[in-house]
Amino acid sequence: MKSLHEIKESFSIAYGAVKANKVRGMLTTLGIIIGIVAVVTTMTAANGLGNRFKESISVIGSDVLYVSRTPWVFSGNFFQFRNRNQLTLRDGEKLERQLHEAKAVNTRTFSNQNLKYRSTVLENVTIIGTTENHVLVSAGAPQYGRFIIDNDVQYKKQVCVIGWEIKDRLFKDVDPINKKIKIGRYHFRVVGVMEKLGSAGFFGGPNFDRQVMVPISTLMKCFGGRNRNFDIVVKAPSTEALYDFEYSVIGEMRKIRKLAPTEENDFSINKMDTLMAAYNNVMGVVILIGLVITSISLFVGGIGVMNIMFVSVTERTREIGIRKAIGAKKRSILIQFLFESSSICLIGGLIGLIMAYGVTQIINAFLLPASISPGIVIIAIVISVMVGVVSGIIPAYRASKLNPIEALRYE
Amino acid sequence: MQLEIKEITKNYKMGTEIVAALRGISVNLLKNEYLAIMGPSGSGKSTLMNIIGCLDTHSAGSYLLEGADVSKMNDDQLAEIRNQKIGFVFQTFNLIPRADVFHNVELPMVYSGISSSMRKKLAEEAIEKVGLTDRMKHKPSELSGGQRQRVAIARALVNNPSIILADEPTGNLDSSTGAEIMSVLDQLHQAGNTIILVTHENDIAAHANRVIKLKDGLVETDELNHKHFAA
């Protein structure tokens, strides 16, 4: 009860002190504002990068596993994967037959070829040999035309479905459906255009819009079927079941590959989480460094507050003497000045947050899908109050220790 | 017994030298006494006042305030004693410049933890006693010297202290305003308060009914004021 009155008193003193020195308070607050804007913007930009990455790999699908010869991301020795046998088309067929709980299975293979339409050439485009199951396992669907159907695969038809960017580059405003393009030395008829899928090119990953899909049988016919590596895409019954599903896939694959219980897997299971984890690993460090650097500006702001608090204590030495003479305890004086410094910082933090919101909107409009989350707001407020307490503690302690007689005599 | 001081000494360290400000002073004070402490500068009267007001601690001797031994208390306990038992009136008023009259008077009660409705009632009563009800919302800078000192007196009164300690209360005032302030103190004495007045002016000391004169850290004379008893 007693301390409640003191806190109320401290609050009104702090308010009065800030109000009485508006310009000084504003300048001091500016340091904190800049610091908070820097820290918050770093955090939102980091969030934005994370969102952009997630968006760009969302086409991979969160409930899909990719069985491949090598992992997508690996640290350490490549040679441990080099001697693995390639995954074959038969492996894919067997897995499709044996893995009953899978929603869909699709076997794919890749080739890089140049594209040509009239005089326009696109070099080194990823050609995916796939089946009609492709649309069942992956998120994308054709925007115009159709996808590859079983008939195309069965009769090795030279048809293709092109990615958004390919359509844009080769055809501009022309309707590409039923136009012939050259993939390598072969003519293919465009039957569909995929919707925009996004690109992880920003992070050095694949660009899903710069791909061409053809029937897997046609790809093997045109660009060679021997010594070719495949990967098998399997869709889990649900995202929640992914963990258990992964074990079933590993079990079936070991049977297919005829591995003895003592042998290690000679294939890898990849999924979206693998990429997310790799991203978090790398970006975690980058973001941490960013935060450390931006925190320096907050630290400088804190020093500014500490400086002003020393001035404020000196200026009000006599007032401290009066308060002590009429019965203020050390604690009351300490709370009074801590309140003052943390209010300055809290105000700075709130203004900083508002400005950071503006900066985030700009980032959002031009660069990244960044946003300020409630977590960031809470962190920013807590940090700014903490800066206030930390930078106020020494001046406040000094004030609380003042001798009342000397303080009263101070001119 | 309101106050019991026995053989108090106070030494200051000035560099390597030790200076004795008080060299063994004994004073007893009864309830509702009106005491003036006089003496030339350097006689130790400020030191004595600071010790009586619990702003400072003595080097040796004993000091009982309403039976409580002050010499054994720490800073926070002394702050509580100052808050509860002492009312200060200073020569330079010592009001908080940014706070209005009401808040200045209310402040000791904030530190003693009285509820705000009770504070309002008591502060208004005290302000009424010194006749400043119409100036409640004024800042000290908007008041005359005499009015400021009245605010200080109201603040000193508000926690109903054992002793009102007035250090040269008229020192910064012209003589007619000074007389006004002295009449306020006289009224408080008549209302039953114990008052200690520190002054070097004989006219002011004449208001008290007992005068102690200090010289070189010792009590020179301690006598009743005959004028009062002659009347």
Tens digit of each residue's pLDDT (9 = 90 or more) over A189-199: 999 999 988 77
> Which residues lie below 8 Å from residue A179, measured CB to CB, with a gap of 6+?
A117, A171, A189, A190
Tell me, what's the pLDDT at B100? 92
pLDDT tens readout for residues A170-181: 998 889 999 999
Q: How confident is the model at residue B229 (pLDDT cuts 50, 70, 90)?
A: low
- Is the predicted pLDDT of residue B231 greater than 60, yes or no? no
Percent of chain A exceeding pLDDT 90 equals 50
Question: Cα–Cα distance between B196 and B208 in angstroms, integer?
Answer: 8
Q: What is the pLDDT of residues B61-104, one digit of tens each?
A: 999 998 889 888 999 999 999 999 999 999 999 999 888 999 99
Chain A residues in contact with B111 (beta carbon < 8 A): 6, 323, 326-329, 332
Residues in A touching B75 (Cβ below 8 Å): 329-330
Size of interface A-B (CB pairs under 8 A): 70
Query: B151 and B95 in contact (C-beta within 8 Å)?
Result: yes
| Residue-range domain boundaries for chain A | 2-56+277-409, 86-237
For residue B228, name the pLDDT band (cuts at 50, 70, 90). low
For B157, the closest chain A residue by CA position comes to A326
Q: Write out pLDDT tens, residues A25-65.
A: 888 999 999 999 999 999 998 888 888 888 777 778 888 99
pLDDT of residue A200: 67
d(CA A55, CA A44): 16
Question: Please, which pLDDT band fits residue A138 given cuts at 50, 70 and 90?
Answer: confident
Residues of A with CB under 8 A from a CB of B: 1-2, 5-6, 9, 16-17, 20, 318-319, 321-332, 404-405, 408
What local confidence, expressed as pLDDT, does residue A55 receive?
79
Residues of A in contact with B50 (CB under 8 A): 405
Measure the CA angle with vertex A292, ends A287 and A295; round to 5°: 120
Indicate the pLDDT class of residue A201, thresholds 50, 70 and 90.
low
Least confident of A127-131, A134-138, A248-252: A134-138
Question: Mutating which of A13, A326, A411 best tests the B interface, going by the most B Cβ atoms within 10 A?
Answer: A326
Q: Do A330 and B75 touch (CB under 8 A)?
A: yes
Confidence check: pLDDT of A139 > 90: no
Query: Span A318-340, mean pLDDT?
Result: 91
Residue A1 predicted with pLDDT over 60: no
Q: Across the interface, which of B56, B94, B113 has its CB nearest the CB of A1?
A: B113
Say if B12 is an interface residue toward chain A (CB within 8 Å).
Answer: no
| B88 contact A CB<8A | yes
DSSP 8-class letter at A59: G
A87-106 pLDDT, tens per residue? 888 898 899 898 888 889 99
Q: How far apart are CA A324 and CA A344, in angstroms?
A: 24
Q: How many CA atoms lie within 13 A of A239 on its CB side?
A: 5
Chain B hits for A321, Cβ within 8 Å? 94
- ipTM (interface predicted TM): 0.92
Find, among A269, A239, A244, A265, the residue nearest to A254 by Cα. A265
Arithmetic mean of pLDDT, A300-316: 92
Do residues A381 and A349 lie in contact, with contact meaning Cβ atoms separated by under 8 Å?
Answer: yes
The predicted pLDDT at position A77 comes to 73
Which residues of chain A have a CB within 8 Å of the CB of B155?
326
Q: Is there a contact between A330 and B79 if contact means CB atoms under 8 Å apart?
A: yes
CA distances from B11 to A10, A233, B23, B56 (A): 36, 92, 8, 12
Mean pLDDT, residues A265-292 taken together: 88
For the cut 80, the answer to whether the pLDDT of residue A411 exceeds it is no
Please indicate whether, in this complex, the C-beta atoms of B82 and A5 are within 8 angstroms of each other.
no
* Rounded average pLDDT over B48-73: 90
Exposure on the CB side of residue B201, measured as CA atoms within 13 A:
15
**In contact, B195 and B35? CB cutoff 8 Å:** yes
Give the nearest chain B residue to A330 (CA atoms): B76
H/E run at residue B103? helix B101-112
Return the CATH number of B31-60+75-230, one of 3.40.50.300, 3.40.50.720, 3.90.1150.10, 3.30.1330.80.
3.40.50.300
Average pLDDT (B178-195) is: 91
CA distance A339 to chain B (A): 16
Q: Which range (A44-48, A78-82, B171-175, B225-229) has the least confidence?
A: B225-229
SS3 A366: helix
| A17 has a pLDDT exceeding 80 | no
Question: What is the average pLDDT score of chain A?
Answer: 88
- CA–CA dist A364, A361 (Å, integer): 5
Q: Give the residue carrying structure tokens 């050390």.
A: A330
Interval A269-277 mean pLDDT: 85
Give the per-residue pLDDT at A18: 76
- What percentage of chain B carries pLDDT values higher than 70? 97
Report the pLDDT value the prediction gives residue A83, as an integer from 0 to 100.
Answer: 79
Residue environment code for A112-134, b if the CB has 16+ CB neighbours within 10 A, otherwise e: ebebbbeeeebeebbbbbbbbbb
The whole-number average pLDDT for the span B31-36 is 92
The Cα–Cα gap between B46 and B41 comes to: 9
**Region A262-287 average pLDDT:** 87
What integer pLDDT is reported at residue A130 of this predicted model? 93
* Two tokens, residue B59: 């080097």
Alpha-carbon distance of A188 to A184, in angstroms, equals 10
| Domain range list for chain B | 31-60+75-230
Q: DSSP secondary structure string, A297-362?
A: HHHHHHHHHHHHHHHHHHHTHHHHHHHHHTT--HHHHHHHHHHHHHHHHHHHHHHHHHHHHHHHHH
Residues B131-140 pLDDT 10s: 999 999 999 9
At A63, list the tokens.
Answer: 């409930």
Question: CA angle, corner A410, sides to A408 and A411, nearest 5?
Answer: 125
**Which one-letter DSSP state was computed for residue A264?**
P
Tokens of A92: 């894919």
To which residue do tokens 């503690």 refer?
Answer: A393
Does residue A12 have a pLDDT over 70? yes
Token pair recorded at residue A32: 């904190």
In this predicted structure, the answer to whether residue B230 has a pLDDT above a threshold of 60 is no
